[in-house]
Amino acid sequence: MKWIPKKPWRQKTGPVARKRAGAAGMVTSDTDSGTQKTLERVLSKAGAGSRTQARSWIHAGQVQVNGKVVEDPDRWIDFTRDRVLLDGKPLTKRKQIYILLYKPTGYITTFKDPEGRPTVYDLLGDIDQFVSPVGRLDLDTSGLLIMTNDTQFAERLTNPEHKIAKTYLVKCSTLLSDETLEQLRRGVTLSDGPTRPATVRRVRDTGKYTHLEIAITEGRNRQVRRMIEAVESKVLKLVRTQIGPVTFGDLKIGHWRTMEPDELASLAMAPTRSRR
């Protein structure tokens, strides 16, 4: 019987393998790790701050695990058993917050900008817990933005397999024909592959411009702008008007409010991935 060597890329998984990998200083994925996560993710998921902030705190020696300072942000820990201190205070999971923000143009959706541009955090004021944007809106795009410290909720909204639509109003630089709109509905090919089918409705034509409403279930970088460019036009104005069934209501631009329970329920019950 011929001996066949094991494939070198075959890697064992599970708690024991993760424990060995952690002891060896290896960085592994925490996608299927249950209660085990890297230290930086534990700090972020607890709502203490962003992952970038967490790494800086860890490197600065501000974090202790079971009474010992840990300066490795990729150290695997079990939050249900390990005792984590930040600046000498116990790390506890904070209350989950869900914010709906009407982002104006001219603001970026990162915590800090090296170029000194205003960020959406400048609009939030004194919120005592760290929240992250669910998805992105670029500098020149305005509209609805959800911010939360609930990472599972955020994953549901951003994962295209859950098919939660994001709706935009678009002002195009040219007049688009019905055939072009049908092309957008079927999907266009971008540099990172074909897009999924979209819902597209002509709102009106004014002079040499077409105004569209388009709903997509993906969240690629600058996707709507790239889709319009793929049909030989450009976006002059872009506003996100809806996330799933959630709309502006009476929210004014530049302001935010806490999301209502029925809004959260509507997103939690939105069409989701099929089970095999």
Catalytic residue among 113, 122, 138, 262: 138
138 is catalytic: yes
CB atoms within 10 A of CB 45: 18
Catalytic positions are 138
